[in-house]
Amino acid sequence: MKRTFRTRALIATTAAAVAVTVAVGVAQAGDTDDKRDTKAAEREIAALFGQWNAALLTGSPEKVADRYATDAVLLPTVSPDIRTDRTQIVDYFEHFLQKKPQGEKIRSVIHVLDGNSAVDTGLYRFHLTDPKTSKTAPVVARYTYQYEKRGGKWLIVNHHSSVLPAAG
């Protein structure tokens, strides 16, 4: 009887150890899949800046505004006004696009919050051309884009940009 009890205990212990090992292996595999999924989502979010920048290069304020949700908030780099609807966002870009902006990211930190929301924040540099003198000058700014997927399309719901202050 003791032998049977020990044998059962050994079998139960072995089975529990195997179950834990399998569960850890599955969890680790899931972690790898999660990390892969996160990296893919981060690449997708990073590409949205390129799409926004390409819209700038068209020179069309409407095409740029198409990147924003209808209820988006824009706190722009070169305007004191907070823009809270499409008309105001188009108005801002009508003026900003006169400077022929060409943007490039310097540093980006992306947080995918879930399958329908993400934040991209960091530093970017714009090369702006003075319409009067045709001289181009760089402007480095901080940015935050908050995105939401609406109707299957990523849209900017909040965009803040401000000139990078001098180091102090």
Tens digit of pLDDT for each residue in 45-69? 999 999 999 999 999 999 999 999 9
Provide the pLDDT for residue 33. 62
Going from N- to C-terminal start, the domains of the chain cover 2-163
- Tell me which architecture the domain covering 2-163 has in CATH: Roll (3.10)
Provide the pLDDT for residue 14. 37
Q: For CA atoms 67, 84, 62, 54, give the dihedral sign.
A: negative
What global pTM score does this model have? Answer: 0.78
Provide the pLDDT for residue 16. 38
CA 39 – CA 9 distance, rounded (Å): 44
Instruction: List, for the chain, all residue ranges whose pLDDT scores fall below the cut of 50.
Output: 1-30
CA 108 – CA 120 distance, rounded (Å): 7
